[in-house]
Amino acid sequence: MTPTQQLHELGQSLWLDNITRTMLRDGTLARYIDELSVTGLTSNPTIFDKAITGGDAYDDQISELTEQGLEPEDIFFAVAIRDLQGATDLFAPIHERTDRVDGFASLEVSPLLADDAPATIEQVRKLHDQGDRDNLFIKIPATAPGIPAITETLALGISVNVTLIFSLERYRAVMNAYLSGLEQAHAAGKDLSKIESVASFFVSRVDTEIDKRSDELRNRLGIAVGKRTYRAYRELLDSDRWQGLEDQGARPQRLLFASTGTKDPNASDVLYIEAFAAPNTINTMPDKTLLAFADHGNVGDPIPADGGDADEVLEAFQSAGVDTDELAARLQREGAEAFNKSWNDLLESIESESRRLAATG
């Protein structure tokens, strides 16, 4: 049994942090599903930017949409939805076999709307309708204005991947938004068993920042905060508020460990996959990390329900003068800014491709 199969048997979902039209056409994603136990995927603007500019797989569709007079953002969503529909169709048997718990792909709303909850909700509804797949998540960032948008979207019965979480405090706000959304959905008579959500905690960016300051504490903060977040996740599942919703058919908002590709060239290339083995969670990873783990990963003991040594490690960072709350707040801001830049770069690439194809057509 491969390490990826072992992790799957432990109860953790392995999702790919990538999508291209080429991997849909040449069978790469199907092979990942069949041979490496991949049961879902995530996408973002940078992934699509690289896919669109990396070859000619999208040329015909972009040419057609450009001739129709569509703007770059509308072209992007049309392109992305076609790819993600292809992926969700491949994951459909998993989605059915797991009774809607797994087998999802994710599409992100425009990050430029992150500070505008009503506009975010409107775009979520539009993308949900255009996507037309039960196993398509819409991604909403966990910014302060994003929290009410998350609640309202879930209250509408739309499944959500909450992204850009860097701290326990923000994760708890996301958990509360999820519960509030379910409560509102239940009051409106919606079937809670058809509403799914994941909460994506970003790992390696935390360590990338700290590693600039301390060799002694290298590659430890992201794991410690992730373990403490896992403890909060387990505590939620034991809470009376959650139990009441579960009795009405609600599903847990699964914790997703994101950004788990190792950034430190001197660290193990499967560091964050091995560190976050835990049942009823998700780990989403780039192709390189997935293939590395399949080749030489090790599935050890799962994260303890109490977070293991998380508090001890975090105390060491505090003693070293690291303000983890300030760091998380800054990463939240910088993450949102990076998403905005990626989005703008993507739209510029599409506009450039449109001009190029019109000139050569």
Convert the pLDDT of each residue in 21-57 to its tens digit: 999 999 999 999 999 999 999 999 999 999 999 999 9
At 264 the pLDDT is 87
Residue span of the structural domain in which 196 resides:
3-360
At 361 the pLDDT is 66
**pLDDT tens per residue, range 109-122:** 999 998 899 999 99
Q: How many domains does the chain have?
A: 1
- In whole angstroms, give the CA distance from residue 127 to residue 165: 22
Collapsed DSSP state (helix, strand, coil) of residue 288:
helix
> Which CATH number covers residue 141?
3.20.20.70
Residue ranges, the chain, pLDDT below 70: 209-216, 361
At 211 the pLDDT is 54
| Closest to 328 in 3D by CA, of 193, 253, 229 | 229
CB 192, CB 247: distance < 8 Å: no
Q: Does the pTM of the predicted model rise above 0.85?
A: yes
**Angstrom distances, CA of residue 238 to CA of 165, 231, 232, 303, 325:** 22, 11, 10, 17, 26
What type of residue is 206?
V
Positions marked catalytic: 139
